Structure 1
Amino acid sequence: METTKLYRPVGLKEMELIAELDYNAFPPRLEWQPIFYPVTNQQYAEQIAFEWNTVDEFSGFIGIVTAFEVNSDFLKKYEIQNVGDKNHNELWIPSEDLNEFNFNIVDGIQIVNVYFTDRSLVSENKGLKDKLDSFRK
């Protein structure tokens, strides 16, 4: 099976929900979130995590970059959307397709980078806290 590597910048609360799902799935979208948008490159994911998540109280003032492989055949029905600069590419997965998207994740969700601020909240999940702390410089 061929896979495609995707990335998703998240805040602390979403990362805690991912941890509760054993790093194998993304949590359901909130009512006001009609799409799930993974991005196609780590540089763009890091830009979002650093510029948006670290200044957002809802994100816990922390930007976490996740990476994961998805079955490429499943992704063929979604067009890559460019939303700005040449590397600002993402997929728009309707929230009602998220369960099927999660089913097509191969080998789980990994944390690949974390951006902290002086206001970053700390997870109460010991395992997740340890993973995040391993990225402190």
Structure 2
Amino acid sequence: MTAPTITLRRPVGPEERALVPESGMRAFPPRRREQPIFCPATSEEYRIKIARDWNVRASGSGYGTRFGMLKSCLDRYKAETAGSRAHQQYRIRAEDLENFGAAIVGDIEITREHSAQGDA
């Protein structure tokens, strides 16, 4: 029997996007000091909003990722609303990221690219 999983999404900038393949597409890089929280989104709509509104503005491009997560691990965290009900995310502390990452099921997929010129 397969353990239940939940699909999450994560907007990333070009630096984080470049580091994900170094893990074999199996983990997100550790957080930098100025990034104490890792926030995966529960919906594609919210992931797109963050990638377009924040990542593109900050660095010229943003990327969408999608990954499966063991529900048993995710149950330790609470989904939080950031604005509207459609904008839900989990807030994972940097020191929890390694344990959180160990519960990723399968590969992290790069699903989309956003830039000032449009989406690819």
TM-score (norm 1): 0.81
Is the aligned partner of 1:104 residue 2:106?
no
**Deviation, structure 1 residue 40:** 0.4
1:56-98 Cα offsets, whole Å, 9 max, x none, are: 13xxx11101000000001111011001011110001111110
Distance 1:71 1:98 in 2: 14
CA RMSD of aligned residues (A): 1.5
Give secondary structure in 2 for the equivalent of 1:52.
Answer: helix
Deviation at 1:114, TM superposition (A): 1.0
Say if 2:66 is the partner of 1:67.
yes
**Cα distance in 2 for residues equivalent to 1:28 and 1:3:** 23
1:82 alignment counterpart:
81
Partner of 1:53: 55
The equivalent residue for 1:4 is 6
Is the partner of 1:31 in helix, strand or coil? Answer: coil
> d(CA) in 2 for partners of 1:116 and 1:33?
22
CA shift digits 1:99-133 (9 cap, x unpaired): 01111000110011111225xxxxxxxxxxxxxxx
Structure 1 runs of 4+ with >6 Å offset: none
Secondary structure, in 3 states, of the residue corresponding to 2:80?
strand
Q: How many residues align?
A: 118
**Structure 1 unaligned residues grouped into runs of 5+:** 119-134
